[in-house]
Amino acid sequence: MASLPKPDELAGINYNPPRTGWRDTPVEFRRGTYCYGAKPKNLEAVGLPNPRDWSPEDQDWKLPENWKEIILEGLRERLGRFRSLQIFMDACVRCGACADKCHFFIGSGDPRNMPVLRAELLRSVYRRDFTTAGKIFGKLAGARDLTEEVLKEWYYYFFQCTECRRCSVFCPFGIDTAEITILARELLNLVGCNIDWIAAPVANCYRTGNHLGIQPHAFKDMIDFCTEDIEKVTGVKVEPTFNRKGAEVLFITPSGDVFADPGTYTLMGYLMLFHEIGLDYTFSTYASDGGNFGLFTSHEMMKRLNAKMYAEAGRLGVKWILGGECGHMWRVIHQYMGTMNGPADFLEEPVSPITGTRFEHARSTKMIHIAEFTADLIRHNKVKLDPGRNNHLKVTFHDPRNTSRAMGLFEEPRYVLRSVCNHFREMPENTIREQTFCCGSGAGLNTDEYLEMRLRGGFPRANAVRYVHEKYGVNTVACVCAIDRAVLPTLMDYWVPGVGVAGLHELVGNALVMQGENDRTTDLRGNPLHGREEGEDV
Amino acid sequence: MNLADLLTKKQAVILERWFQWFLETYPAETARFMREEKNRFANPVGSSVYQGIEGLCQELLQGMELDRVYPLLDPIVRIRAVQDFPPSRAVAFIFALKKVIFEELESEIRGGQISVEELLELESRIDNLALLSFDIYTQCREKVSQIRVEEIKRRSERLLQRANLVVDPSE
């Protein structure tokens, strides 16, 4: 009969991780800590290689016979195409400045999440095959062979990085680990190793224009549904148009705003604002998603999916594009679009028809962020606001990784927030603006099977929210990203119960005084409005 | 000197050793970071844990009121419940406190300076902490399952309503 382990053994008194170095410790795919593999139909839909049924937990990943050649050739090609990659591979001196800046490292304690080590996963293979020292001295020069174990480790850790770039803010050489992750994911895609949560939205976006594959009639239907809700709350009937040729502005927002709570309340806010200022705008039922999971797949896929927005702008003959509250859409627009599918010379430099403000910074992309647009309206007193309607909310602002570090959008959302709320409090300085902590679910990792890992990665953000919640009674995190709106409620539920999540324009919608509206008794969610006394800045 | 006095006298060293034990459950690089980084927002795990166990050490001397102990224990177990630990290891830190205290007070215990009653009382207080941590651990894991379901609902409930697949008869 087997004897019971002693209490010390059972409690795992000696439970340090294996003492082998990181290079020799294979990753373990345990449920909750990895994303499901891409389904073959989703790879086939966009012509990505090696479609097959597989799971990361399988021993055999059914890789193509010459997978190693494919990856190494892919790496060689990318080293030539992206000078930054070559520099990032060579320049790191392992100073450690980035090491403790990653939310996944901080939350999980797994040192392979230190950005320097995450990059080293790729760099070690680069050294082995692309540097003389590595070819000759091998392991002594920090090089290692590309094996299936290494590939599995790439999958585990490069799909455990939200490409948030917080580490790059601290790197003295400006090494951008996000870009390394982006390229490593490209390499994984060459042999069919994507995650399904990215592959499915990519396939859907490519065919029907949005992540869920919602067809035009259903897309329109959902927005009509939303206008009914607006009428219930305000008594005002707003009438958005779809695919209307000759509109001045094409409005594109993440599809999450259209069908997922609490994004839907943000959509209500947009529609109400546009109605109130009389904006001549239209939706496109094909460019029906600002989200672009192509960014998490490959540069080519990002370009393909981005193109639909401009194709639709051209087809409808609009002057410029207004973009909703999205995170990575803005990274694609702000950092890639100008030279990828642009410059969009067939459109006009955006000018607000209400204030006359010319948005010169968007001269190349012809697309501006709604926070910029609304901040400009408020600055020119073009909308009437009653911030007291948000008095039941004590708000803090979460800077999404993309709008902050890939766009520098700091002041506009804060300006809008201060105009529509009486109670606003910042989180601690080292957790906001360019140092913002990611929600832990970006870059295509916001899937439910990955929740445990997301909770680890989201802990540093939640910890800062907890601080303002306990100290100032903050009960709402405002944000300008659809993924944040989808995942922060979950994160808050676990780490800081009692704190809700709202899009910026949901709060605008609450505060917006509309012509002909009823005396509002509820906010956009149907919660009763009380305590409408003048608040002070808490 | 009774047990309470001894514990008070040795409180700093017990706390330090307990925290060290805790850190050693992580890889060396991580442990170093969690020890050295003092900013609570840059190092939320290390600071939450330290704050929690510091409070628990105090409580050990002050009667272990549930209302006070729970908010100290919850943040630690909440973190451990979603990190890469099986349940036994996630809450093993409670038992490590016994080990630390008994090692620190070994000569006094062997020398008969502490009564059996006092020792049993101490053991029982730590055991209570362990039991409470099981409760919190389980609540956390249940919460993970629950919020996963909630998230999926939020993602698609509107679509279901619109497709008339879910109907609220009161409306």
Arithmetic mean of pLDDT, A479-489: 96
Whose structure tokens read 């950092």? A335
- Structure confidence at residue A535 as a pLDDT band (50, 70, 90): very low
Q: What angle do CA B43, B48, B49 make, to 5 degrees?
A: 105
**In this model, does residue A15 exceed pLDDT 70?**
no
Phi/psi of residue A252, nearest 5 degrees: -125, 130
The answer to whether the Cβ–Cβ distance between A455 and B84 falls below 8 Å is: no
Residue A102 exposure: Cα atoms within 13 Å on the Cβ side: 29
User: Which long-range CB contacts under 8 A does A26-29 form with residues at least 24 apart?
Assistant: A26/A149, A26/A152, A26/A153, A27/A149, A27/A152, A27/A153, A27/A156, A27/A157, A29/A56, A29/A57, A29/A152, A29/A156
Measure the CA–CA gap between B101 and B15, rounded to whole angstroms. 10
* Chain A residues closer than 8 Å to B99 by CB: 13
Q: What percent of chain A has pLDDT over 90?
A: 87
For residue A536, name the pLDDT band (cuts at 50, 70, 90). Answer: very low
Pick B42's closest partner by Cβ from A11, A100, A448.
A100
- Which ranges of A82-193 would DSSP assign to H, the alpha helix? 83-91, 103-108, 115-130, 132-137, 148-158, 166-170, 177-190
The region, left, alpha or beta by phi > 0 then psi within -120 to 50, assigned to residue A209 is left
Containing A196, the helix (H) or strand (E) segment is helix A196-208
| pLDDT tens for chain B, residues 1 to 171 | 688 889 999 999 999 999 999 999 999 999 999 999 999 999 999 999 999 999 999 998 887 888 999 999 999 999 999 999 999 999 999 999 999 999 999 999 898 888 999 999 999 999 999 999 999 999 999 999 999 999 988 877 777 777 666 666 665
Residue A387 predicted with pLDDT over 90: yes
Is A314's pLDDT higher than 90? yes
Q: Which of B54, B37, B53 is nearest to A430 (CA)?
A: B37
- Which pLDDT belongs to residue B153? 86
Check residue A137 and give its pLDDT: 86
Does the pLDDT value for residue A478 go beyond 70?
yes
What the block records as the tokens of A259 is: 């069908």
**How far is it, in rounded angstroms, from Cα B169 to Cα B171?**
5
Q: What percent of chain A is modeled with pLDDT above 70?
A: 94
DSSP per position, A366-429:
-EEEHHHHHHHHHHTT-S-B-GGGGTT--EEEEPPHHHHHTT---HHHHHHHHHH-S-B-PPPG
Say if residue A409's pLDDT is above 70. Answer: yes
Amino acid A512: pLDDT: 98
A120 has a chain B CB within 8 A of its CB:
no
**Can you give the pLDDT at residue A13?**
47
A18 to chain B: closest CA residue: B27
A54-to-A57, A58, A62, A193, A310 alpha-carbon distances in Å: 8, 7, 7, 9, 36
pLDDT at A382 over 70: yes
Q: What's the rounded Cα separation, in Å, for the pair A228 and B168? A: 16
Quick one: average pLDDT of A22-32?
79
Residue A501 bridge partners (DSSP): A477
Res A73 pLDDT > 70:
yes
Give me the residue from B30, B92, B95 closest to A109, CB to CB. Answer: B30
Enumerate residues 505 to 534 of chain A having a beta carbon within 8 A of any beta carbon in chain B: none
Residues of chain B with Cβ-Cβ distance to A438 below 8 Å are none
Q: Which of B24, B88, B92 sits opposite A16 (nearest CB)?
A: B24
* Chain B contact present for A264, CB below 8 A: yes
State the pLDDT confidence band at A134, using cuts at 50, 70 and 90. Answer: confident
**How many whole angstroms separate alpha carbon A137 and alpha carbon A333?**
43
Q: How far apart are CA A265 and CA A479, in angstroms?
A: 13
ipTM: 0.94
Q: How far apart are the first and last CA of chain A?
A: 66
- For residue A261, what is the nearest residue in chain B, using CA coordinates? B154
Contacts of A405 (CB under 8 A, 6+ apart): A164, A165, A166, A168, A169, A434, A436
Question: Which residues in chain A have their CB less than 8 angstroms from residue B46's CB?
Answer: none
Per-residue pLDDT at A18 exceeds 60: no
Which amino acid is it at A199? A
Q: Using the predicted structure, report yes or no on whether residue A32 has a pLDDT greater than 90.
A: no
Q: What is the mean pLDDT of residues A487-496?
A: 97
Q: Which of A476-485, A513-522, B75-84, B157-166 has the lowest mean pLDDT?
A: B157-166
List, in order of start, the domains of chain A with CATH numbers: 21-194 (1.10.1060), 203-511 (no CATH)
pLDDT at position A3, please?
62
CB contact under 8 A, B155 and A260: yes
Contacts of A210 in chain B (CB under 8 A): none
Instruction: Label residue A174 by pLDDT band (50, 70, 90).
Output: very high
Which positions ≥6 away from A8 have C-beta within 8 Å?
Answer: none
Instruction: Supply the pLDDT for residue A8.
Output: 55
Could you read off the pLDDT of A182-205 as tens digits, one per residue? 999 999 999 999 999 999 999 999
Contacts of residues A54-62 at CB distance under 8 Å and 24 or more positions apart, as own/partner, are A54/A192, A56/A29, A56/A152, A56/A155, A56/A156, A57/A29, A57/A31, A61/A148, A61/A151, A61/A152, A61/A193
Per-residue pLDDT of A316-370, as tens digits, reads: 999 999 999 999 999 999 999 999 998 999 999 999 999 999 999 999 999 999 9
Fill in the DSSP letter of residue A141. G
Which residue in A99, A218, A448 is closest to B152 by CB distance? A448
pLDDT at A289 over 90: yes
Number of H helices, E strands in chain A: 23, 7
Can you give the residue ranges of every domain in chain B? Answer: 3-140
Residue in B closest to A226 by C-alpha = B158
pLDDT at A259: 87
Alpha-carbon gap: A259 to the closest alpha carbon of chain B (Å) = 6
Q: Do A107 and B44 touch (CB under 8 A)?
A: yes
Q: pLDDT of A213-252, one tens digit each?
A: 989 999 999 999 999 999 999 999 999 999 999 999 999 9
- Distance from C-alpha of A109 to C-alpha of A102, rounded to nearest angstrom: 10
3-state secondary structure B122-151: HHHHHHHHHHHHHHHHHHHHHHHHHHHHHH
* Whether pLDDT at A371 is above 70: yes
